[in-house]
A and B are shown apart, each in its own frame.
Chain A
Amino acid sequence: MKAMFLFAGVKWVRGCGMWAVEAEDLRKSYPKKIPLPFRRVEWVEAVRGISFRVRRGELFGLLGPNGAGKTTTIKMLTTLLEPSGGTARILGLDVRRNAREIRRRINLVAEGERTLYWRLSAYENLKYFARIYYVPKDEERERIERLLKLVGLWERRNDLVMNFSRGMKQRLAIAKALINDPEVLFLDEPTLGLDVQSAIFVREFIRRLVDEDGKTVLLTTHYMAEAERLCDRIAIIDHGKIIALDTPKGLKKLVREEETIEIRAKNIEPEKMSSSPFKMAVIERNPETGVLRLRAQVDEEELPKLVEWLVRRGVKVLSVERREPTLEDVFIKLTGRGLRD
């Protein structure tokens, strides 16, 4: 009996620890084919041993290019995928052994707009999810009303989701993810494909969830500015590994200001850039004018060599300026390429 109390006590203490999310040497491999009995399959590593911890009430970002392993990580942490190795704990609970308990206390805004029932109204969607999350019946109505008002959709509550704009769908998806009042909220590319206004609304909303409601938020993004403005700490992930983890300010310290160069140029063939010996990446293309913005990390000695290298390849350099480093520069410095490459 005593042992039971002790065990329960240890579990309680672990559950109430300061860490909302803990990942230790977390790994995930996918089979190339469905692993049926007696079938030999090859496995591809998507996440290669990542470790990080997120404090309660922290807004933590996983930043990386497409295919870096962000979504796979989030799916393992939300119990949707079985990790191949390592451990992950949410609110002190093991993702392998305590999946159901974890699911009660977390929620996820998945990537893309098709996570809702388009043939149901906004209200009906939230009612359905309230039921499968076992929201007490006497709280259901009030909670749905509060959430719909919070995301500005109360007036449209009876409209079918299929008639909503992408931004409205995303706001409803966030309301849906708050239906069980989760302690930890996971957001996978929450502003992907949204118009500027909707993206601003979503970002401000996420920040308020942390600052005012004390929620823990872990989001993935490949938007540098979003991660920089929003997150308390950021883990940069590439090829399934965390290559840097710090506050946005701390990360930017990895790049010295005097090394950060922005070049505006024309006549660039991207395939020729890939063989560049310099840490450089295209960060913006203007399809109308053909002008490209390049960011590079080069010191005073390297700068003339870089310009010469570009000119020799027929690139028309329009301007060269020093700039304050951004997270994009951090990524270029760490990987030698840009996020969009």
Chain B
Amino acid sequence: MILAVVEKEFRMFFRYPLRVISSILVGIVFLLQFVYFGQAVLGGRYSALLEASTGMGDYPTYALIGYVLWWVSVSPMEAYVWGVRRELQRGTFETNVLSPSRLTGLLFGLALSWLLMDSALMAVVFALGAALFDIPVTIPLLLKSLPAIIASLVAFLGFGFIFAGLVMLLKNIGPFAQIFEFAMLFLSGVFFPLAVMPDWVISLSKLFPLTHSVNIVRTLFAGGGYSDVGSSLLWLLALIPLYWGIGYLLFRWAERTTRVIGYGGY
């Protein structure tokens, strides 16, 4: 059933090549803006200050890793918010709910599809970024990073259920979700080191899986190993059940309430 949802979403997305191209272009344009802005502020590609606080002094590599991981991490939330909203607008949401398939399974399929599609797009953006900024990337390095990336995405897949529940209930929560997405962009050290932020922000940032996954991947790209990022890894593994637990409980409450007021449409 999950595969059926993935197949359907892929068909609808890749049926329009222009949409795919524009998504990649948007990804590239934002990346370039941030990288060039960062380099202008730092006065060049390398920053000793950045290296001292994060272990990685090459700004394009630093930004590219953070940016690509952020984009992919928010895609389950985007799927739950915009994907579910689109189904509500289409009028197909109730048709899905009516099937004997579990709603959580259908929504997970939706989030997984968006995650896979965004991953494919971001793989292209990452490759282009690496080529453009001459960043050395090897297959073993990517494979080594994969467990941390997957752990982070698994956490976000669970957390996104909160948004799925809220969309069913409140319908239009896009702006709220966007605030959350951009808060994560700033609070996870995507484009600048968290060391420059106040202590309470640093503490808060630990609750975002993205903070830990970017830290791990950057360390690996800088030549370190998993043993150097033990605490980030532990945080990440602890956040997975926490995010899934909170996400699932809130979703179930929202689903029960929605059955009282009706799934409805727009």
Given that A117-B12, A120-B11 are contacting pairs, would A131 and B1 also be in contact in the complex, using a CB cutoff of 8 Å?
A: yes
| Contact (Cβ within 8 A) B98 A78 | yes
Question: By the criterion of a CB under 8 Å from any partner CB, how many residues of chain B are at the interface?
Answer: 32
- Chain B residues near A104 (CB-CB < 8 A): 100
- Chain A residues near B257 (CB-CB < 8 A): 34-35
Contact residues of B: prevailing secondary structure: helix
- Chain B residues near A84 (CB-CB < 8 A): 260
| Contact (Cβ within 8 A) A132 B101 | yes
Contact residues of A: prevailing secondary structure: loop
- Chain A residues near B106 (CB-CB < 8 A): 132
- Chain A residues near B92 (CB-CB < 8 A): 114-117
B167 CB to nearest chain A CB (Å): 13
- Chain B residues near A108 (CB-CB < 8 A): 95, 98
Is A103 at the interface (CB under 8 A from chain B)? yes
| Contact (Cβ within 8 A) B4 A131 | yes
CA separation between A100 and B105, bound complex, in Å?
A: 13
Q: Within residues 174 to 215 of chain B, which ones have a CB less than 8 A from any CB in chain A? A: none
- Chain B residues near A31 (CB-CB < 8 A): 260-261
CA separation between A336 and B240, bound complex, in Å?
A: 62
Given that A35-B257, A114-B92 are contacting pairs, would A132 and B262 also be in contact in the complex, using a CB cutoff of 8 Å?
A: no
B173 CB to nearest chain A CB (Å): 12
B95 touches which of A115, A118, A180 (Cβ 8 Å)? A115
Interface string of B75-114 (1 = CB under 8 A from A): 0000000000000001110111111111000100000000
Interface string of A104-141 (1 = CB under 8 A from B): 10011010101111111000100111011110000000
B263 touches which of A35, A80, A117 (Cβ 8 Å)? A80
CA separation between A117 and B87, bound complex, in Å?
A: 9
- Chain A residues near B96 (CB-CB < 8 A): 132
Is B252 at the interface (CB under 8 A from chain A)? no
Q: Within residues 158 to 188 of chain A, which ones have a CB less than 8 A from any CB in chain B? A: 176, 180
Is A279 at the interface (CB under 8 A from chain B)? no
Nearest B residue to A121 via CB reads B11
| Contact (Cβ within 8 A) A128 B100 | no
CA separation between A78 and B95, bound complex, in Å?
A: 11
CA separation between A119 and B12, bound complex, in Å?
A: 6
| Contact (Cβ within 8 A) B100 A114 | no
Nearest B residue to A131 via CB reads B4
Question: By the criterion of a CB under 8 Å from any partner CB, how many residues of chain A are at the interface?
Answer: 36
Nearest A residue to B96 via CB reads A132
| Contact (Cβ within 8 A) B95 A110 | yes
CA separation between A101 and B7, bound complex, in Å?
A: 26
Is A203 at the interface (CB under 8 A from chain B)? no
CA separation between A118 and B263, bound complex, in Å?
A: 20
B9 CB to nearest chain A CB (Å): 10
Is B52 at the interface (CB under 8 A from chain A)? no
Is B170 at the interface (CB under 8 A from chain A)? yes
Nearest A residue to B105 via CB reads A132
- Chain A residues near B100 (CB-CB < 8 A): 100-101, 103-104, 132-134, 180
| Contact (Cβ within 8 A) B262 A117 | no
Q: List the 7 closest pairs (A to B, CB-CB), nearest first.
A: A131-B4, A114-B91, A82-B259, A103-B100, A132-B99, A104-B100, A132-B101
Write the residues of chain A forming the contact surface with B, with a CB cutoff of 8 angstroms. Answer: 30-31, 34-35, 75, 78-82, 84, 100-101, 103-104, 107-108, 110, 112, 114-120, 124, 127-129, 131-134, 176, 180
